[in-house]
A and B are shown apart, each in its own frame.
Chain A
C-alpha cells in the first residue's frame, strides 16, 4: 500500500500533480545528456551481436523459398553429417504455437506442416561458425507441395478456399470489426457537404540499423538465459515459457533485452529466431548466437500494414464533422502478430483530433503470403490519419476555407469524451496549429505561391500507451523497484527497454528529481526478467507515462521513508525538509541538513534495509464496449505539421526544403530528447511519404522485390529538410510531471502534409502513400488531358459485413457499452 493508503495500481489520476512546481524543478525540463550517452558515443554499448561467450555456436535458419506450400518432407541428414554441425532443430520438436496476442497464437518456431511466406523458418542449425551453419542449411532438402499464392487483399478475398490459416473469420479474413457510434443517417442528413474518397497506404518497414540478434545459453543449474535485441522482454519471456514448456519452466528462463539498435516497433514480437536459439542452447548445452541478415530483417518485418481505405464524410459549412464512415482493409501478411490490435487502431483515433459527431467504422484484416505486418511507429493509425487529413484538405478546398483555419476551428475539447468513448486529457493542438501556421506563414502562402511551389498542413494525435495490456490481467503495466545504498547510490530497477529513445534516462530524471540528485548519480538497471520488475515493453509510446509514474511512486515512497528519521535527527518538521543538490535540509535554514548519503544511513539505521516499489496501471477506460479496449490511453499527444514542397512540373520530382512541426508533449521531461524524437519522427514520416515501401512481386511467386538497404529507399542526409520544432507544454494530469508521449505522434501528420503540399503546388492529388514522383507525374498528365488530376485507388474488396456493435455517443446519453448491454445494465 502506498503512503496515502491506496494501492499503487489504483492511485487516483492526477495525484502526482502536487509534486509539480515548475519553478523548483531541478532535473525535469532540462536538456540533460542521456545517462548512457557516453557509452553510445564511444562504442561501448553492448548490442546483442556484440556479445560473445566461450564455446559459442552460431545458428542459421533455413527459411522457406516458397510463399505458400505444404511441407511434404524435410531431410536434414546431410546437414547433420556435416563436420562442425552440432545440432539441427526441426519444427516438430517444438509443437507449441506462440504469437504476441493470445487471440492469434499462430506461429511455430519452425514450420513443419505448412509455410506461409518466403522466409518462414523451417530448420535451425547450430554449428561452430556461421559459414558452416550456412553450408549446412544448403544441404537440407525440403520437399514442398506448392499452393496458390495470395498476394493482396483482393486475392485474399477471391481465393476464399485457398486458406492460409484455418482460423479467423472464414476464408482468408483474419479479423472483421464493425462498430457504430451515434446516428449516421442523421449525421449525413445534417451535413452541408458529403464526400467519399478511397486511399491506399502502402506497407513499409522499420529498418532498424541493428539487425536482430539473440544469444542464448544454458546455465550449469539448468536455467536458460536469452539475451536479445527485443523491445518486449516480458512478452518474449512468455512466449519462451510456452514453447519450451517441456524443457524448462518459466521461472528458470531469464530474458535480458539488450540495448536495441533501433526498434520502431520491429522488435516487439517474440520471434522464431529467439526461440530457436534458446532451444538449440538447451539441445547443445552451449551458448548459441544468431544474428539475422538484412534480408532476414525484412522477412521478420512486423511493419506497417498496407491499408486500403474508404472514407465517407459529412461536414457542415464550417467543416464540423457530422458523420464519418470509415472502412479499412489491412493486408496482414502471413501471421496474426499484433494484427487484431492493428485492425482496431485503423478505426480508433479518427475521433480524437476534430469532433466527429457520428462515427461508423468497419475494419478487415486479411491473411496474405507475405512477411507478417505488425506495429510500426504509430501502429495502425498513420494510414487512416493520412486518409482523413487528405480528405479534410479536399473539403477545405471545396468549402473555400484555408485548411489550417478549418482544423483550428474544429478541435476536440480538452478533458472530453469522443463519439467512440476515448477520454481526452490535456489537448494542445490549437496551440500547435498556431505555432506552425505563424512560423511558416501558412495563411499568406497556401494557394498563393507560383506553380510548382506548395505548402500543406496536417495534424495528428497519438496514445501515451495503451489502456490495456496485451494479455488480460489485473497486474500493473509497469513496475519499478528502488534500492537505496549507504553510499548514497540509488539504483532503479525496471523492466523497460531502452531502444534509443532514452527510457533509461527518463527513469533517472524522475527519481533524481525526487531525491534532489543528478541523473548521472543513479544506477539504472533495466530489461532483465530475473532482476527487474515487469514493464510490458517499449511499444505504443507507453514508457514515459507508465514507467515514469511507477518510478515517481517508488521514489516518493522512498523519500517518505527517509523524511521521518531525518526530520527527527535534525529536529525539523517533516514538511520543511527539502531534497536538493545532493543534500537533505531545512528549507528555512539550509545550513541545517546533511548529505543525501547520510540521510539514507539514518533512515536505514531506523528502518532497516531501504527499498521501495512503485507500479502503474492506466485508468479505467470509458469505452466498455467489445473492441473498446484498443484506443483508450492515459493521455493523447497532439502534433501539427506544415510541409513545404518544390515540385518539378516536367518530371514530378519534388523536394521538401522545410518542415514546421509543433508537438504537444504535456511536459517535456527532457526537451532535448523530445526534440530528438520529433525530428526522428518527422524524418521517418518523410520516408514513408516520399519513398518507403515494402513491395512484393505478386506475379513472381510472391518474392519481396527489394529486401536490401540500397533498394528499400529511405531518406539520407541529402533529403532531410530543415525542421523547425516547437514543444508545446500543456501538462496532462495522468502523466508524470504532466508528460505525454513524443516518440510516435509527430510521425503521423507528415505523410498527409506532403500529399497536401503537392496538391497546393501542382493541383493534383496523390491519394496514396508513398507519394512518388511517377505518381505525381501521372496525375499531372491526367490533368493535362482533362481527366481528374489524381493518382490513387478506386475500390475496396466487396464483402459482407456482420451487424455492427452499436454504441450510443456520450451526447446521446450513452454509457460506453453496446445499446443491447445498456438495457441489461440498466435492469441490473
Chain B
C-alpha cells in the first residue's frame, strides 16, 4: 500500500524547497532521504537520543518526531546551514579545535541545541550548558570537550578572547 504523496514546502537553511512525500514521513526522513541533507543523524527515532535535532523557526526540536507536514512553511536549520559559506560557525570551529566531535555522529544535534542556547543566553554558566544540552547523548567525548567548546564559542560570539586552556588540550 502506498499512500498518496503530498507536496510540502519549507525553507531549509535559507533555501526554499518543495518536495512530495507521504504524510507519515517525518522531517528527519524528508531532510535525509528527499533533500539529501544527511548531516542530520538518527540514533533511535523515538526522541531518546537527540542526534536528529534541527532548528524549526529557531527552536531545537527532534526531527524524528516532527512530521514533515508540520514543518510546512517553516524555517528549518540543519547542520549544513550552520557555517557561513566557507567560514565555520564558532561552535563548529571549537568543536573541531577541542575534539568535541570525536565520531561526529551526535555533533550536529549538540551544536544546533547550543546555537539556540547562545542566542538566548550569550554567557551561560557550565550548569546552564549542561541543562541546555541534556537532551543530547554523546558516547565518545564524556561531554567535557563539548561544554568547553560551547563556552569558547560563547566568548568569541561575545567578541572576547577565546583561546582554549592548556589543560583542555594537554591535560594538567
Q: What residues make up the interface of A, taking CB atoms closer than 8 Å to B?
A: 31, 33-34, 37-47, 49-50, 52, 84, 135, 206-211, 259-264, 293-294, 435, 439, 499-502, 671-676, 678-684, 708-710, 714, 716-718, 720, 722-727
Chain A residues contacting B43 (CB-CB under 8 Å) are 209-211, 294, 709
Tell whether B26 is near chain A: CB-to-CB under 8 Å: no
Which of B42, B93, B130, B172 makes the CB contact (< 8 A) with A717? B130
- Establish whether residues A42 and B79, one from each chain, have CB atoms under 8 Å apart when the complex forms: yes
Tell me the chain B residues, 123-172 only, with Cβ under 8 Å from chain A: 129-131, 133-134, 136-147, 167-172
- Establish whether residues A38 and B39, one from each chain, have CB atoms under 8 Å apart when the complex forms: no
Interface residues on B, range: 35 or more
- Establish whether residues B103 and A672, one from each chain, have CB atoms under 8 Å apart when the complex forms: no
- Establish whether residues B172 and A683, one from each chain, have CB atoms under 8 Å apart when the complex forms: no
Chain B residues contacting A34 (CB-CB under 8 Å) are 96, 99
- Establish whether residues A720 and B103, one from each chain, have CB atoms under 8 Å apart when the complex forms: no
Main secondary structure of the interface of B (DSSP, over half): loop
- Establish whether residues B136 and A717, one from each chain, have CB atoms under 8 Å apart when the complex forms: yes
Tell me the chain B residues, 91-111 only, with Cβ under 8 Å from chain A: 92-93, 95-99, 101-108, 111
The verdict on A500 contacting B102 (CB below 8 Å), with A40-B96, A42-B92, A717-B133 known, is yes
A73 CB, min distance to chain B CBs, angstroms: 27
Tell whether B11 is near chain A: CB-to-CB under 8 Å: no
- Establish whether residues A717 and B134, one from each chain, have CB atoms under 8 Å apart when the complex forms: yes
Tell whether B36 is near chain A: CB-to-CB under 8 Å: yes
Chain B residues contacting A43 (CB-CB under 8 Å) are 37-40, 78-80, 107-108
Which of A40, A674, A714 makes the CB contact (< 8 A) with B137? A714
Name the CB-closest residue of A to B97. Answer: A33
| Sample of 24 A–B contacts (CB below 8 Å) | A40-B101, A40-B103, A41-B93, A41-B96, A41-B111, A42-B82, A43-B78, A45-B104, A206-B139, A208-B103, A209-B51, A210-B41, A211-B42, A259-B103, A671-B169, A672-B168, A673-B99, A676-B102, A678-B171, A679-B141, A680-B140, A683-B141, A717-B131, A725-B167
Q: What residues make up the interface of B, taking CB atoms closer than 8 Å to A?
A: 1-2, 32-33, 36-46, 48-49, 51, 78-80, 82-83, 88, 92-93, 95-99, 101-108, 111, 129-131, 133-134, 136-147, 167-172
- Establish whether residues B103 and A262, one from each chain, have CB atoms under 8 Å apart when the complex forms: yes
- Establish whether residues B142 and A723, one from each chain, have CB atoms under 8 Å apart when the complex forms: yes
Chain B residues contacting A261 (CB-CB under 8 Å) are 41, 103-105
A35 CB, min distance to chain B CBs, angstroms: 11
- Establish whether residues B39 and A207, one from each chain, have CB atoms under 8 Å apart when the complex forms: no
- Establish whether residues A672 and B169, one from each chain, have CB atoms under 8 Å apart when the complex forms: yes
Name the CB-closest residue of B to A724. Answer: B172
- Establish whether residues A500 and B172, one from each chain, have CB atoms under 8 Å apart when the complex forms: no
The verdict on A680 contacting B41 (CB below 8 Å), with A41-B95, A45-B104 known, is no
A242 to B41, CA, bound (A): 33
A675 to B46, CA, bound (A): 32
Which of B79, B105, B143, B145 makes the CB contact (< 8 A) with A47? B105
A376 CB, min distance to chain B CBs, angstroms: 12
- Establish whether residues B45 and A293, one from each chain, have CB atoms under 8 Å apart when the complex forms: yes
Which of A679, A709, A720 makes the CB contact (< 8 A) with B49? A709
Chain B residues contacting A33 (CB-CB under 8 Å) are 96-97, 99
A678 to B172, CA, bound (A): 13
- Establish whether residues A716 and B134, one from each chain, have CB atoms under 8 Å apart when the complex forms: yes
The verdict on A680 contacting B136 (CB below 8 Å), with A40-B104, A435-B172, A726-B172 known, is no
A491 CB, min distance to chain B CBs, angstroms: 23
Shortest 8 CB-CB contacts between residues of A and residues of B? A43-B39, A500-B103, A40-B104, A683-B142, A261-B105, A43-B79, A50-B38, A709-B48
